[in-house]
Amino acid sequence: MLERITGPRDLDALSGDELEALAAEIREFLISEVAKTGGHLGPNLGVVELTIALHRVFDSPRDPVVWDTGHQAYVHKLLTGRQDFSRLRQRGGLSGYPRRAESEHDIVESSHASSSLSWADGISRAFASTGQADRHVVAVVGDGALTGGMTWEALNNITDDNDRNLVIVVNDNGRSYAPTIGGMARFLNSVRVTGGYRELQEGSERFFGRLGAPGRTVYRATRGAVRGFVSRASGNQDLYSNLDIKYVGPVDGHDLQALEHALRQAKEYGRPALVHVITEKGRGYAPAENDEADQFHAIGQIDPDTGLAIGGGGGPSFTGVFGDRIVELATENPRIVGITAAMLAPTGLEAFANRFPQRVYDVGIAEQHAVTTAAGLAYGGLHPVVAIYATFANRAFDQLLMDVALHRAGVTLALDRSGITGPDGASHNGVWDLAILQVVPGIRIAAPRDEATLRELLGEAVAIDDGPTVIRYPKGPVGDPLPALRRTPEGVDVLAETADDGADVLFVTVGPMARIALDAAALLAEEGITSTVIDPRWVVPVNEAVTELARRHRLLISIEDGIRVGGVGTRIRQALRDAGVDTAVGELGVPDEFPEHATRGELLAEAGLTAERIAADVAEQVRGTRIPIARPE
């Protein structure tokens, strides 16, 4: 049946039994296909019926559907004509998130949470002001995203001017990556699990109060009636007592008839309305349903029958090493505390939380709050370590600048998935952190190249209490050790030297890019070109040993997997100019573009960050002729 669906309107003629069969087929398809490629399985299994109902009630793309975060849009892709999942999240295949280049049905590409309501607010205002009163806007937001401040900023404005067609669907499964935390989570959980049952004649009440008000109803389709679930948990407090938005629900998110009924009510209202949908992450797949950690939120390749991972290996990961080391440091130093933004396990803080549960704080999907509360923790005498993905640090820039750095607070940011990450695509590549964060006065940024330097640098970072420190490391295994030949008195590691007193080229590497530099240096040595490879370890500020070493070389090449514009190479060029060093500088990094979804290796090659490409280009600069080294296209 799925093959017959080429667009949303193909759903209109299907009977109730056919829709149920389609839902079952979609689940089988997702389990089979995502098991081969990896991806976000659990979230998509949970929104099968919801997505079908949305596309039956609303007319996408005329009625835009905005998916908050977007990792749960696989079913949306299937229903909008994209059913080749063979290269999901791979070069040339479907993106793991909504992408405008794929379909007119994809509206918002960002894969960061809590922004959908702001998008919907803006779109609906535009429709209202341009006379498009027959168009609706739908924002699908998870309960986890309700922990983000942007959601509440948007709600404040949505309810200020409410003469427009805007439907907010709260997909409430009690989880973000892991179980949702905080007062909002406790409230929604009380709605989900307390109360009694009654039946209401269909249409007897159009809406059932505001979110948090007594009389809330979980819609489940029955013969000629709606079976209601009444929450008594909210007492006299109305969560939205100061907001003017109509509430429908809670609705059983796996009952197609009930979903359509509730969504049509919201659509016909003509003003902003909120539909509260209760779903189960991982629905219909026992391994996901039984996974207490994250219900198969994001997986690699798995055996679809058992749910067990296949392949993998590669030794310890940077994330795992960080997780082990932070526990060691916290054991030695009771002032160290951890902060996560709803990603305890993915960022490596789970072992810390298990060992010291009172010293790790999950603030929800709220990176801005995480960094400012860290400043407060530092003021109170602690040393907080905020562990987040590098791409999400972009959101917390102002807080790092004005709350942490301005107040010289001893806060460490551990930025996982820094640099090129690959399959998750444009918004998840952590290529902006170096360029953005290095403008913060007094900041210190370290980039470990292997396991030993990550352990070492993290220990150095948490010992600094007079300003922010950053440790940034990539996704994936730490690889083989890269020992230094020697360390300068200033703390710079010299990894390779092919000349005793100065050389043709000085390679200055950032973190794991040291491996590529060493390989390039070996290729150059075969051609008689001498080089030195160094790892500053702390890449910001520029170590004075870097400028002094540069004096003894004809050419300095910096290599980073962040964007070249405003990157470490730019900082080094400025430092050489300030020191009166006239060594030529070549800055290698990622172009100021949004990297597409592909493997890390493919994206590095596309950016020219391979040993062969670098050696060929350097030889041309040193000798004026290109050496005969294979250069990948």
112 marked among binding-site residues: yes
616 marked among binding-site residues: no
Catalytic residue among 289, 367, 451, 606: 367
| Cα–Cα distance measured from residue 132 to residue 64, given in angstroms and rounded to the nearest whole number | 13
Which residue is it, tokens 């197609």? Answer: 256
DSSP conformation class of 341 = S
Catalytic residue among 395, 515, 573, 600: 395
Nearest 5°: the CA angle 267, 207, 252 is 80
520 marked among binding-site residues: no
Catalytic residue among 281, 283, 564, 571: 281
484 marked among binding-site residues: no
| Cα–Cα distance measured from residue 492 to residue 535, given in angstroms and rounded to the nearest whole number | 6
Q: Show the tokens assigned to 216.
A: 């809330």
Can you say whether the dihedral through the CA atoms of 513, 515, 518, 519 is positive or negative? negative
| Cα–Cα distance measured from residue 319 to residue 448, given in angstroms and rounded to the nearest whole number | 12
285 marked among binding-site residues: yes
254 marked among binding-site residues: no
CA distances from 427 to 297, 301, 586 (A): 18, 22, 27
Please state whether 451 falls in left (phi above 0), alpha (psi between -120 and 50) or beta. Answer: alpha
How many Cβ atoms from other residues are within 10 Å of residue 501's Cβ?
A: 6
Closest CA to 304 of 291, 320, 287, 292: 287
Active site residue 267: no
111 marked among binding-site residues: yes
Show the beta-strand stretches assigned E in 186-240.
Answer: 196-201, 220-222, 225-230
Active site residue 281: yes
As a whole number of Å, the CA-based R_g of the chain is 27
Residues 478 and 321 sit within 8 Å (Cβ to Cβ): yes
144 marked among binding-site residues: yes
519 marked among binding-site residues: no
Show the beta-strand stretches assigned E in 482-622.
Answer: 486-487, 493-497, 503-509, 531-535, 538-540, 553-563, 584-590
Largest CA distance in the chain: 90
Active site residue 3: no
55 marked among binding-site residues: no
Residues in the chain: 633
DSSP 3-state percent helix, strand, coil across the chain (nearest 5): 35, 20, 45
Nearest 5°: the CA angle 234, 237, 243 is 115
Enumerate the known binding-site residues for Mg(2+).
Answer: 143, 173
What is the set of active-site residues?
Answer: 281, 367, 395
Q: Return binding residues for thiamine diphosphate.
A: 71, 111-113, 144-145, 173, 285, 367
